[in-house]
Amino acid sequence: MSFRKIYTGLLAAALSFFLLLLHSASLFAENAEPKTNAENIHMYQAKPITVTAQKREENVQEIPEAITAFTETELEDAGVETIAGVIDMVPNLSVSQGLGGFDGVSIRGIGPSMFTRKNPVVIYVDGVPHDHVRNFDMELLNVERIEVLRGPQGTLYGKNAIGGVINVITRKPGNDWEGKVSAWAGEHETYGMKGFVSGPVVGDQLFFGISGKYDDFRGYMKNDHPDQDYFNSGNVTSLKGVLRWLPAESVEVNFHAGMDLQDKGADATIAPGPVRYHDYRDPGDRDDSDLYSAALNMRYEGEGFALHSVTTYWDRDNDLLQDRSFTPGGGLYSMADKSKTNALSQELRIQSPDDAGGVQWMGGIYYSTEDTDYEEFSSTYDTEGFFGYNIKYDWPGDRSEETMAVFGQVTFPLVSTLDFTAGLRYETIHKELEYRREVTRTDTGGQLPIDPFTGVAVPVAWDLGDDWDALLPKGALSWSLNEHVMLYGSVAKGYLAGGMNAWGDDRGTAKFDEQTSLNYEIGAKTSWCDGRFLLNATLFYIDIEDMQVWNQPTPGIYVASNAAKAHSQGIEVEARARLLQGLDIGAAVGLLDAEFDDYGSFTGNVPVLSPDWTANLSVQYRHGSGLFARMDVEGYGTTYYDDANTVKRDPFGLVHAKIGYEADRWDVYLYGNNLLDKEYFTDKSFGVFTVGEPRTVGVTTSVRM
């Protein structure tokens, strides 16, 4: 049976589910079981989570959007340490971890933009925005919760959030002293340690928190080069501090500062072929980066309003050198990236208080700048056999962008159970590119006057700047049938600004257009059996215009353009259940049908990095005696890595498990990731394949204050 027939059948089933909800809504009040005492209800409830997805505190089950939220405890139980681990738990969201730190994220059929180097999902860490493909797999430290918003979020979150947002919220320190230290050791000589401590400096007024992590790993890819045992080794050091100040009852100030230092070797990439855990790599390969970030969040509660200011800054240095020949000689053998990016943003907004009834409103202004200086962005070819020397192509250019926006959103009740939300953002972006391409001999470092492959005079240099602007409307209608069931429908525009080809010589054709989308969504959020069972479902259709795509007409030259039209449609179902005290089950399924509607010979093909299904299941038991057991299963459907759909990854699944004992002050667990030792790829782009981690068994222990 074809996927389209399966998809159509499930779509019909989902529509029937919505009709069933309408029919059964009144039965909740009439036929609900008599409630037991509050303590017993609490023990068995699959508790909903309070989030700030719409920049105010709300119950996630009462927000008319597809949102998946995870608490600190849920993340620790699942063993999630990075953003990539969070993505694995969300339907129709996937990450392709490939060559050179390129973490391409795809959501609902919308993937990364090659030449803006932006992902369609923006990460916010305590307000600091990260949308770059090189910033996407950050470590998680002392997290209170993570919120994943699916669908365009341009109205409130602005640029590049065409597909969604991941909000990472760190725990706030308070009057109570808290602390925890964890350590782990596993196969492939993996060792690590993390911890945090927080408490008061001045009671009721000034508090601090500090957290850190160190992770060291030997890697699992053996090097066929005689001078190195394993080539994907490395270590990561992360540190974060927070100061919280309450100078008055109506004022709160939070200052966050952190750093992530990565010192890694080669990527886990191999020459195209079947999965194998070895290849020939240069022992000098590296992927080092230093990321520093800071955020100042200030809030003032006035009479009938709240004023917020969010100031952020981040700075990242990259030093990348990766071998791509996989043999002692011949072919393209290395690529390098020595660059520095810094970004500054400022948001001011005024809004109704979180606890305000009736009409809820907000409005604000936003400004940001981002600058990238490429000292070197090069590809080196082994051409000594042809010319007597090797040739390096280098693009040492600079890129910058400046964004300004105004936005507003209002939610007002039409009747007692029916609310309407309307939002609008106007955004303007100015981008500049200082383009330069050089061709040099690696033996002397001298520049060549003529490109020996194309015959073009070099160096090539030019400057180009342009502006893009957009109106981003959003409307949502929510209907609370009763306290157990909410139905909603929404329409929102998504937007990703255009840009300039950073690796193409032709100034006249360098610019490519913005990518836009219209997202139509209907959903239901329900709770059953006194809150023991939560079931949410979403249907969506996305009409995509001018999807940004890229191709490689000649080696080392990449050209961006726009596919005229594409669309995606799908179903997402998420469920959480507490069957017994301590027994929790969670599941999520996403089905996706995405294709190019107008893209030359590729019309009808599937966009890259868009698996046709994703699924995950977790079963966890926590006994009062301290025993703990958990199993997770995750799976992905067919994924294509080129527009021609000639390079693909077949469906596969992974199984993870964890058992342990939890005491009042300490825990110890035995874990196994990829327990069945499934062989798989995480990426097949840029002419290389990235190998996923084999089975890894280890132990972790924690001690609490």
Distance CA 70, CA 88 (A): 12
Distance CA 364, CA 348 (A): 5
How many residues comprise the chain? 705
Peptide bond into 48 cis (omega under 30): no
Q: How far is CA 139 from CA 368, 623, 660, in A?
A: 24, 30, 24
pLDDT digits (tens, 9 = 90+) for 616-657: 999 999 999 999 999 999 999 999 999 999 999 999 999 999
CB-based contact 277:695 (threshold 8 Å): no
Distance CA 35, CA 40 (A): 9
Give the pLDDT of residue 18. 44
Q: Are strands 118-125 and 128-132 parallel, antiparallel or unpaired?
A: antiparallel
pLDDT digits (tens, 9 = 90+) for 148-198: 999 999 899 987 899 999 999 999 999 999 999 999 999 999 999 999 999
Task: Indicate the average pLDDT of the chain.
Answer: 89
The tokens 């030019």 sit on which residue? Answer: 462
Distance CA 455, CA 472 (A): 46
pLDDT over threshold 70, residue 16: no
Give the pLDDT of residue 622. 97
CATH number of 3-704: 2.40.170.20
CB-based contact 370:396 (threshold 8 Å): no
The closest of 375, 371, 285, 379 to 323, measured between CA atoms, is: 285
pLDDT digits (tens, 9 = 90+) for 451-492: 988 889 999 999 999 999 999 999 999 999 998 999 999 999
pLDDT digits (tens, 9 = 90+) for 228-274: 999 999 999 999 999 999 999 999 999 999 999 999 999 999 999 99
Domain ranges of the chain: 3-704
Neighbours of 481 (CB within 10 A): 18
CB-based contact 135:95 (threshold 8 Å): no
Buried b (16+ CB within 10 A) or exposed e, 346-378: ebebbbbeeeeeeebebebebebebebebebbb
Reported as type and span, the H/E element at residue 297 is: strand 286-301
Distance CA 66, CA 486 (A): 12
Q: In the numeric block, which tokens belong to residue 335?
A: 């690529």
Which residue type sits at 489?
Answer: G
